[in-house]
Amino acid sequence: MERRRGPSVRLKLTLSYAGFLMLAGVLMFVAAWLAGQPHNPFVAVLRYVPDEVVTAIGRIVPGNRGFLLRAYAPPAAVMLGFLLVFGLVGGWVLAGRMLAPLTRITAATRLAATGSLSHRIRLPGRHDELRQLADDFDAMLARLEAHVAEQRRFAANASHELRTPLTITRTLLEVAREDPDRDVDQLIERLQRINARAIELTEALLLLSRAEARAFERVPVDLSLIAEEVTETLLPLGERRRVSIETSGGAAPSIGSAALLQQMVMNLVHNAIVHNLADGGTVWVVTGVRDGRATLTVENTGEPLAAAVVATLTEPFQRGAGRIRTDHAGVGLGLAIVRRVVEVHDGRLVLEARPGGGLRATVDLPGDGPAV
């Protein structure tokens, strides 16, 4: 919003300091003057000065209080002038020193407004209100920088992955137009697969965006019940791939979005099934409570994974040893969605390579109830 230009805070503080200093001086002189008035309740030296002429050390000197006050007025005025100048200069310097942190915070704010989020204030000194503000601002800049970097990387990957099915669709349509005798049924089947893949990727992106925005209501949930429902849903997929699914453990109460947590468990179990051994593979799903927190562990047999590969699995569009390709199952967002859902629920996700091959994923969420 637009505002009319007004005096700076430093000028206001300077005038305030000088004003209070002048007020203190005036009150001091007024008190001295009032002390010399008849019937005044204040006790001061002027009260005991006689009105008549007095003799001091053999000489006659005026003793009238009015005379002393008139003699007192010029130096009092000079002193008030000095207090005014001293208050203005001292107040300006003092206000500048006190407001110096705000100058650095303002400069950092302007830099951030131009898109530079790497700058940090790092205000030195002991803790006070302004330094707390600077520390909070640095923390906000760090979160914004990380968020923007993640969004840019994610947007670049997403645009690349969405471009691929659209390009394939356009190529198929152009070939079909140039070849009227082409098998239409085969073309429709391929277009349906590509379109389904694009829809799946779009839905995953929307789900991830929803998790990023924390646009959900927190309600009591039980990870064990969600795990049972998910394993029943994915049991046909496991049978088709000759992968057995074993569930165990007890209740794991927590608080969060039932839909997002169900999608999290679905992605973990689905990932464990499709990235398993070709024959005789197994998926283990274990729930419980540890140190008052709800836990979910999903393990699967499979090929040995290097630690460097495991560290990249939660990145968007990463799977196994590298980026996904269009003829592979999935869209490479499963574990990225899991990580984000866990983060927005204030939990922890740990991925580990199993010694015998495969992956172990452990989710730790805040509990909602006594340990069982």
Q: What is the pLDDT of residues 215-233, one digit of tens each?
A: 677 889 999 999 999 999 8
Residues 68, 84: one domain?
yes
Range of the structural domain that residue 356 is part of: 217-372
Q: Which of 45-49, 99-103, 273-277, 354-358 has the highest mean pLDDT?
A: 354-358
Write down the mean pLDDT value for the chain: 76
> Looking at residues 297-320, what average pLDDT do you find?
82
Residues 76, 222: one domain?
no
Min mean pLDDT across 78-82, 101-105, 295-299 is at: 78-82
Residues 312, 365: one domain?
yes
Residues 92, 155: one domain?
no
Residues 267, 169: one domain?
no
Residues 366, 238: one domain?
yes
- Structural domain ending residue among the three candidates 215, 243, 258: 215
Residues 228, 358: one domain?
yes
Residues whose CB is less than 8 angstroms from the CB of residue 293 and which lie 6 or more positions away in sequence, other chains included: 254, 364, 365, 366, 367
Is residue 4 domain-resident?
no
In the chain, the number of structural domains is 3
Is residue 1 domain-resident?
no
Phi/psi at 332 (5° precision): 75, 20
Write down the pLDDT at residue 245: 92
- Pairing mode, strands 281-290 and 243-249: parallel
The answer to whether residue 362 scores a pLDDT higher than 90 is: yes
- Structural domain ending residue among the three candidates 160, 180, 215: 215
- What is the value of pTM for the model shown? 0.54
Is residue 2 domain-resident?
no
Residues 75, 167: one domain?
no
SS (H, E, C) the chain: CCCCCCCCHHHHHHHHHHHHHHHHHHHHHHHHHHCCCCCCCCCCHHHHCCCCCEEECCEEECCCHHHHHHHHHHHHHHHHHHHHHHHHHHHHHHHHHHHHHHHHHHHHHHHHHCCCCCCCCCCCCCCCHHHHHHHHHHHHHHHHHHHHHHHHHHHHHHHHHHHHHHHHHHHHHHHHHHCCCCCHHHHHHHHHHHHHHHHHHHHHHHHHHHHHHCCCCCEEEEHHHHHHHHHHHHHHHHHHCCEEEEEEECCCEEEECHHHHHHHHHHHHHHHHHCCCCCCEEEEEEEEEECCEEEEEEEECCCCCCHHHHCCCCCCCEECCEECCCCCCCCCCHHHHHHHHHHHCCCEEEEEECCCCCEEEEEEEEECCCCC
Residues 248, 354: one domain?
yes
Q: Which of 90-94, 294-298, 319-323 has the highest mean pLDDT?
A: 294-298
Residues whose CB is less than 8 angstroms from the CB of residue 82 and which lie 6 or more positions away in sequence, other chains included: none
Is residue 3 domain-resident?
no
Residues 207, 232: one domain?
no
Q: What is the pLDDT of residues 95-105, one digit of tens each?
A: 777 777 778 88
- Structural domain ending residue among the three candidates 86, 114, 142: 114
Is residue 135 domain-resident?
yes
Residues 132, 155: one domain?
yes
Residues 285, 225: one domain?
yes
Min mean pLDDT across 64-68, 152-156, 325-329 is at: 325-329
> Looking at residues 244-254, what average pLDDT do you find?
92
Is residue 306 domain-resident?
yes
Look up the CATH number of the domain holding residue 362: 3.30.565.10
